[in-house]
């Protein structure tokens, strides 16, 4: 038996049978293997390629859903007050959701999308002291999401506009007229500087809304003043233009 190498032949046959069984098991595993997603999505990155071996728990890639996209919105304390919504707000199943207008410059054109407010976090960011809200746009890659059929691509930076609470009896001034400490420099009827402290409602960087501190029709100083002192005499642009006109007519 040793000279005929029967033990080696038996071992080889056993290895062959084991290999055949392994192939059949692999074919069965392959037939049962199916890579699926619990949502409609797109592939963002792949970690494996054709011909590579993978095991249970191996990461194959990264995908994201295209059913809807969520946008994190950092809110200041003042912006939260303008919304009139509490911390921890959730949209739930309310019939009139808070609408959000998103916009971004994509491919040299301003694109727009419409979404709604999903909720506001119940905690404040300990590092930035901002309060984050979450907006959502349904079907971001569909034709109905954008006014120009441009998809709201994942990773895109956008601007968001949310309609705040209604404000009555407010005075609107240019944001340049609002000074540190919510002070405003007003030109009184005698052309003198009147420094006042206003009650600020909201400032969007272009206009500031005040609930007190000014009256309708008053003039606010928007230019820089060196060493402003209440009661100092001021010359407005209109006054300077009038003087130039008078001087021109005199010549």
Render pLDDT for 205-247 as a digit per residue (tens, 0 to 9). Answer: 889 989 888 888 888 999 888 888 889 988 877 766 555 554 4
**What is the distance between the alpha carbons of residues 158 and 137, in angstroms, rounded to a whole number?**
12
Tell me which residue of 119, 140, 144 sits closest to 131, measured CA to CA. 119
* 3-class SS of residue 243: helix
Cβ atoms 17, 10 nearer than 8 A: no
d(CA 128, CA 248) in angstroms, rounded, equals 57
Question: Structure pTM?
Answer: 0.64
| Residue range 147-192, pLDDT digits in tens | 557 889 888 999 999 988 888 888 999 999 999 999 999 998 888 9
- The contacts of residue 26 (CB under 8 Å, 6+ apart) are none
Collect all residues with Cβ–Cβ distance below 8 Å to 83 and sequence separation of at least 6.
75, 98, 162, 164, 165
Two structure tokens written together for 79: 């912006």
Beta strand 41-46 with 99-106: parallel, antiparallel or unpaired? unpaired
* Structure-block tokens of residue 123: 């905690």
Burial of 235 (0-12, 13-18, 19+ CB in 10 A): exposed
Q: How far apart are CA 215 and CA 235, in angstroms?
A: 21
Count of residues making up the chain: 251
Q: What is the pLDDT of residue 166?
A: 84
- Which pLDDT band, with edges at 50, 70 and 90, does 77 fall under? confident
- Residues 182 and 200: beta-carbon distance below 8 Å: yes
Quote the CA–CA distance of 183 and 197 in Å, as a whole number: 4
Q: What is the pLDDT of residues 96-151, one digit of tens each?
A: 789 999 999 998 899 999 999 999 999 999 999 999 999 999 988 875 555 557 88
């Amino acid at each position: 038996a040793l000279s005929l190498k029967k033990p080696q032949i038996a071992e080889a046959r056993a290895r062959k049978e084991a290999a055949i069984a392994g192939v059949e098991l692999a074919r069965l595993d392959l037939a049962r293997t199916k890579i699926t997603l619990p949502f409609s999505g797109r592939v963002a990155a792949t970690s494996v390629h054709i011909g590579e071996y993978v095991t249970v728990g191996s990461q194959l890639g990264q995908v994201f859903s295209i059913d809807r996209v969520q946008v994190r919105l950092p809110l200041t304390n003042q912006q939260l007050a303008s919304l009139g919504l509490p911390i921890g707000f959730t949209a739930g199943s309310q019939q009139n959701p808070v609408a959000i207008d998103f916009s971004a410059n994509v491919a040299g054109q301003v694109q727009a999308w419409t979404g709604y407010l999903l909720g506001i976090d119940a905690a404040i960011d300990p590092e930035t002291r901002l309060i984050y809200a979450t907006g959502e746009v349904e079907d971001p890659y569909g034709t109905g999401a954008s006014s120009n059929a441009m998809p709201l691509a994942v990773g895109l930076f956008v601007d968001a506009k949310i309609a705040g609470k209604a404000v009555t009896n407010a005075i609107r001034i240019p944001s340049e007229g609002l000074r540190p400490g919510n002070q405003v420099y007003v030109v009184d009827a005698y052309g003198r500087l009147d420094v006042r402290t206003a009650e600020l409602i909201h400032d969007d960087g272009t206009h500031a809304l005040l609930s007190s501190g000014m009256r309708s029709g008053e003039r606010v100083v928007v230019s820089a003043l060196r060493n402003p002192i209440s009661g100092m005499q001021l010359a407005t642009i209109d006054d300077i233009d009038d003087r130039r006109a008078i001087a021109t007519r005199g010549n």
